[in-house]
Amino acid sequence: MKELFLGKQAFPCKIIFLTGVDGSGKTFLANKLLTALNAHQVPAIHVWSRFNNYLSKPLLAFTRLIGLNYYETHGGTRIGYHDFESSRVISGLFVICQFVDVWIASIFKFWMPVMLRKGVIVADRGPHDTLIDVTLDTGFHNLPRTAIGRLFLKSIPFRKKVFLIVRDPDKIEACRSDVRLDKKFEKRMGLFFEFADELGFLRVSNDGAPEQALDAIVEDLQVERKKTP
3-state secondary structure of 210: helix
| 179 within a domain of the structure (yes/no) | no
Task: Please tell me the predicted confidence (pLDDT) of residue 86.
Answer: 93
More confident position, 121 or 2: 121
Burial 33-45 (b: 16+ CB within 10 A, else e): bbebbeeeeeebe
- Domain count of the fold of the chain: 1
Instruction: Identify whether the C-beta of residue 93 lies closer than 8 Å to the C-beta of residue 59.
Output: yes
pLDDT tens figures, 4-26: 555 545 678 899 999 999 999 99
Question: Which tens digit of pLDDT belongs to each residue from 72-105?
Answer: 987 788 899 999 999 999 999 999 999 999 999 9
> 93 lies in a domain?
no
Residue 140: inside a domain, yes or no?
yes
Q: In the predicted model, what is the mean pLDDT of residues 216-225?
A: 83
Determine what percent of the chain is predicted with pLDDT higher than 90: 75
Query: Is 43 among the domain residues?
Result: yes
Rg over CA atoms, the chain: 18
pLDDT band of residue 226 (cuts 50, 70, 90) is: low
CA 206 to the chain's CA centroid: 16
Q: How far apart are CA 88 and CA 82, in angstroms?
A: 13
In a domain, 35, yes or no: yes
The mean predicted confidence, pLDDT, of the chain is 91
Q: What is the CATH number of the domain that holds 112?
A: 3.40.50.300
Please compute the mean of the pLDDT values over residues 47-59 and round it to a whole number: 94
CA distances (Å), origin 35, targets 32, 87, 189: 5, 45, 28
pLDDT tens readout for residues 146-170: 999 999 999 999 999 999 999 999 9
71 within a domain of the structure (yes/no): no
Q: Is residue 127 part of a domain?
A: yes
Determine the structural domain holding residue 37 and report its residue range. 15-51+101-168+187-205
Q: What's the pLDDT tens digit per position in 195-214?
A: 999 999 999 999 999 889 99
Position 168 scores a pLDDT of 95
